[in-house]
Copies of this chain bind each other. A is one copy, B any other.
Amino acid sequence: MFNTVTIVGVGLISGSFSLALKEKGLAKKVIGVSRTAASAQKALELGLIDEALPLEQAIAQSDLIYVAIPVDVTIPVMKQVMDLVTDKQIVADAGSTKHALCLALNDHPMRRQFVATHPMWGTEYSGPEAAVRDAFVGRACVICEKEKSDPAAVEKIEQVYRALGMHIIYMDADSHDTHAAYISHISHITSFALANTVLEKEREENTIFELAGGGFESTVRLAKSNPAMWVPIFMQNRENVLDVLNEHISQLRKFKACLEKENYQYLQELIENANKIKRIIK
């Protein structure tokens, strides 16, 4: 499908994307652009990329430029990328927020070459070593502001994500950010806060280590996530995240009130309501 693809950033998402492109035969060559020589070297060693080059040289020989870096640096880097591409090239990002980026690129003369995407897959790990085979499978990929992109570019990007096993959902950038706050960003905050709670209350770390079972691990797993990725997400999606966080704190206060007042009938009802999530996730 592509002769040469450049990935900007050589980490969890871009690395896994590159492995999938290669495995599916969708790219003959993948070039990596990285701010640090060590990451580029690691990505080469792991076979995530065939070559490491500076941004300009990489773009000059690529059909697709795929940007997957923290969302705060995405905006200036993406402007650089867009200033360098022609209408024969496609640009896509993989960022967890969409409003700020779409707004920043809205009036760029090459806007139609850009497809705003968010493949909703990830793990709590980061860097080239975090890249895995068979990522993305069975998950959703959101495409925002489809109407502002060249239809042929959108179609190619959709073909790639579908070949990777994803299903496509279309949204405007604001809706994406609202939903992402509910579905993804709040889970990370609760997990970070839960880790801090346990680290604060449970001074005997050996005991946590010995006792921690499946429930604890699954709720606290995301607390290992990288602040370099998550602080910018929370900055860019601040209002939505605050809105959901306020609701979450008020939901937790209901549990607190039940326990304080020993109102176990209401506690039962709160849990029964939570059980409705069964309808939604298997």
Contacts and interface: CB of A to CB of B under 8 A. Distances in A.
A199 B271 contact: no
Contacts of A210: 140, 167, 169
A107 interface: no
A190 B192 CA distance: 12
Count of chain copies:
2
A220 interface: yes
B222 A215 contact: yes
A192 B140 contact: no
Nearest to A242: B259
B246 A277 contact: no
Interface in A176-224: 179-180, 182-184, 186-202, 205, 207-224
A255 interface: yes
Nearest to A189: B255
Contact of A197 (B123, B248, B272): B248
With most chain B CB atoms within 10 A of its CB, the pick from A139, A244, A245, A280 is: A280
Interface residues of A, number: 91
Interface of A is mostly: helix
Contacts of A121: 213-214
Interface stretch (A9-17, A20-28, A58-66, A231-239): A231-239
A90 to B, nearest CB: 24
A83 to B, nearest CB: 28
Interface in A249-282: 249, 251-256, 259-260, 262, 264, 267-268, 270-281
A247 interface: yes
A31 B63 CA distance: 68
With most chain B CB atoms within 10 A of its CB, the pick from A211, A230, A241, A276 is: A211
Given A209-B280, A224-B277, A249 B252 contact: yes
A142 interface: yes
Nearest to A237: B259
14 contacts: A184-B211, A184-B215, A187-B215, A187-B219, A189-B255, A190-B252, A193-B248, A194-B248, A194-B251, A200-B247, A201-B243, A212-B281, A220-B281, A223-B277
**What 10 A-B pairs come out closest when comparing CB atoms?**
A227-B271, A192-B274, A195-B274, A195-B277, A193-B251, A187-B219, A223-B274, A197-B248, A218-B218, A120-B213
